[in-house]
Amino acid sequence: MQTEIIIAGFGGQGILFAGQLIAYAAMDSGKNVTWIPSYGPEMRGGTANCTVIVADEEIGAPTVRNPRAAMVFNLPSFDKYEPLVVPEGVLIVNKSLVDREYERDDLITVMIPANEIAESLGEKRLTNMVMLGALLEHLPVLSIDAIENALSQHLPERHKHLLPLNSKALLEGAQFAREAFAPIK
């Protein structure tokens, strides 16, 4: 089985790190993976997205036109990727920065106030972990335990003190998604 995920927003939101973390967790779990980052000329504030493919078998091509899932962190990314997710796919939207409702009713869509949840945990940089927890609740490509293990193995030493908060953010995102997602109609 192969699962394609697009993560999109603007630089500084942890887009690329979330994708790397999925890739590390997949590799550590014995899966095949590709991770392709893309960002504008300015890292912070410019466009940023990445594509991650996780598969049990060899991956034929690293490009994705219609992903199984998308995590979108801002309105331009929402506008761009909502139409591209495959029917019955998963769309996780950072409602903190998106001021419109979703248009498709053939997706599992979670409109999550990720910025506010991260800030309630005391660290606004955890928005990406909140979003990732919400994604994994409805896209069981990896477990939260696998992500937590990848964090502990691959997080730079200077950030290891944030491991408990990262775990809490993942769990908060998953809980929100479990309780408040929009089911496929």
Contact 131, 147 (CB under 8 A): no
Q: What pLDDT sits at residue 150?
A: 95
Burial class (CB in 10 A: 0-12, 13-18, 19+), 93: buried
Cβ atoms within 10 Å of 145's Cβ, excluding its own: 12
pLDDT tens-digit series, residues 7-66: 999 877 889 999 999 999 999 999 999 999 987 665 555 678 999 999 999 998 888 889
pLDDT tens-digit series, residues 74-116: 999 999 999 999 999 999 999 999 999 999 999 999 999 999 9
Q: How far apart are CA 56 and CA 43, in angstroms?
A: 32
Q: How far apart are CA 14 and CA 20, in angstroms?
A: 10
**Helix, strand or coil, per DSSP, at residue 139:** coil
Q: What pLDDT sits at residue 43?
A: 55
Smallest Cα–Cα separation from 19: which of 9, 3, 1, 6? 6
* Residue with the two structure tokens 């927003």: 9
**Helix, strand or coil, per DSSP, at residue 23:** helix
- Would the pLDDT of 185 be above 50? no
2-180: CATH number: 3.40.920.10
Residues composing the chain: 185
